[in-house]
Amino acid sequence: MKYISTRGQAPALDFEDVVLTGLAPDGGLYVPETLPEFSQEEIASWAGLSYEELAFKIMAPFVSGAVSDAELKQIISEAYSSFRHDAIAPLVQTAHNEWILELFQGPTLAFKDFALQFLGHLLDHLLKKRQQKVVVMGATSGDTGSAAIEGCRRCDNIDIYILHPYKRVSDVQRRQMTTVLEDNVHNIALEGNFDDCQNMVKASFGDQSFLPEDRQLVAVNSINWARIMAQIVYYFYAGLALGAPARPISFSVPTGNFGDIFAGYLAKRMGLPIDQLVIATNSNDILHRCLSGNDHSKQPLQHTLSPSMDIMVSSNFERMLFDLYDRDGDKIRGLMEDFKSGAMHLDESALSKARELFSSYKVDDDVMLEVIRDVFERTEYLLDPHTAIGLKAARETRRRQDIPMVCLATAHPAKFPEAVRKAGQDTDPALPHHMADLFQREERYEVLANDIGTVQSYIAKNLKA
């Protein structure tokens, strides 16, 4: 399997090299040259497989021999051994034909663990084999950071640097990152917002001259293809549990960087009969504006009670555009140039294809709080703010009541006590046992100016691995 850039001007890479990089040299994102497709019979034969067994079936064609089958199985088994629920991704019913897919049973309580536990073990395996040291650089609006740190903290060949927006993540999210004191783990609180963090990471991939010659950057954000690949699995897992492929399934996905829902779109192309894919946004609604009114323009970033989705520049939308424009890299380069100056407009054909594939809906803080309150009153199930946005969007856009609607629960409510209290809870949701002393742990992080030179010299100076 080869991987090509969405901007059409970078050499194709194999799986191992695509995992050990981030952005393509032409600024694009890597995607598989062709997608594996599974027949309905094959998908039906997977009913009853464990999460780990299914993960192997789905990921093996992408890995295409870069690690042996036995090694891949071992990496998968290690990745999901840290989850707190035997089902790995359990389903909970909230209403008739409406389900919550709990993706927060991993060590850092967000869906990011699905891909980042896997990626951490995969990187460890590849780097040991190659006897190579790398620098991991990532941007986080709160959840990717801790999941990436948890995935990489024990890898001797990795120095990991995570940039989070200073004072813009919840206290739980910050402490999940900054209380990890291994000396290869470095937390930077950037005086800027998430988009600034993400821009800095992307720009650093373009010019890595700040690193010693024997080091290269590796991404842990969803620009890394392995992230997306691992996230495809839970769409199949939920689908099979609810009767696919004999029965179609719909999904609602709280969306920011478009990685999670892009994985859902790929699951559909690979053969899972998905009826609706709902893009649920908070007030940072660029994707909803694009779908509903062809307005893909940058607006000032708003700080909401669902901070992990406070994202304006949605990286993986570029991967989607690549398909909407029949994989024409020249077109994508043009669109991304337009967007750099403030806005891009999709042509009619691309827009109508996007509207066939996705529904979209925006939920502001007040409505989100009302949803948490209402669902708790009816069912005693406590949603996190991101999940509540997904549930509301599902209810507002749903076309068919007879098709199961699965709402992705992307985080545990204990990560967002402020929102939960505002929704009427008088006690904070309890952190799981392994995090019970989080607020007593020592913290370590560096506050840095929103300046790429400052950040890059901090990275170069502090390499440990």
Ligand X SMILES: N[C@@H](CCOP(=O)(O)O)C(=O)O
List residues with catalytic annotation.
112
Helix (H, G, I), strand (E, B) or coil at 333: helix
Segment near ligand X (CB under 6 A); pick from 141-149, 177-185, 431-439, 455-463: 141-149
Output 162 or 403, the one with its CB closest to ligand X.
162
Query: Does 151 contact ligand X by CB under 6 A?
Result: no
Contacts for 259 with CB less than 8 Å, ≥ 6 apart: 222, 227, 228, 231, 315, 316
Which residues does residue 5 pair with via DSSP β-bridges, in sequence order?
A: 30
Which residues does residue 110 pair with via DSSP β-bridges, in sequence order?
A: 411
CA–CA dist 3, 254 (Å, integer): 27
Per-position DSSP letters for 360-406, written without gaps between them: EEE--HHHHHHHHHHHHHHH-PPPPHHHHHHHHHHHHH---TTS-EE
CA–CA dist 347, 231 (Å, integer): 29
Among ligand X, ligand PLP, none, the one that 5 touches (CB under a kind-dependent 5 to 8 A) is none
Among ligand PLP, ligand X, none, the one that 221 touches (CB under a kind-dependent 5 to 8 A) is ligand X
CA distances (Å), origin 36, targets 56, 164, 208, 250: 13, 35, 33, 21
Query: Does 257 contact ligand X by CB under 6 A?
Result: yes
Give the footprint of ligand X on residues 187-246 (CB under 6 A). 221-222
Output 90 or 256, the one with its CB closest to ligand PLP.
256
Out of 105, 140, 255, 360, name the contact with ligand X by CB under 6 A: 140
Which residues does residue 32 pair with via DSSP β-bridges, in sequence order?
A: 3
Among ligand X, ligand PLP, none, the one that 192 touches (CB under a kind-dependent 5 to 8 A) is none
Pattern 288-317, ligand X, x by CB under 6 A: --------------------x------x--
Segment near ligand X (CB under 6 A); pick from 128-136, 233-241, 255-263, 387-395: 255-263
Output 15 or 258, the one with its CB closest to ligand PLP.
258
Segment near ligand X (CB under 6 A); pick from 28-36, 142-150, 178-186, 377-385: 142-150
Helix (H, G, I), strand (E, B) or coil at 61: helix
Output 137 or 420, the one with its CB closest to ligand X.
137
Segment near ligand X (CB under 6 A); pick from 11-19, 140-148, 357-365, 451-459: 140-148
- Phi, psi dihedrals of residue 385, rounded to the nearest 5°: -60, -35
Query: Does 259 contact ligand X by CB under 6 A?
Result: yes
Output 28 or 256, the one with its CB closest to ligand PLP.
256
CA–CA dist 292, 220 (Å, integer): 31
Which chain residues interact with ligand PLP by CB under 6 A? 110, 143, 222, 254-260, 308-309, 386, 410-411
Output 75 or 305, the one with its CB closest to ligand PLP.
305
Please say whether the beta carbons of 412 and 110 come within 8 A. yes
Helix (H, G, I), strand (E, B) or coil at 289: helix
Q: By the criterion CB under 6 A, which residues form the site for ligand X?
A: 140-145, 221-222, 256-257, 259, 308, 315
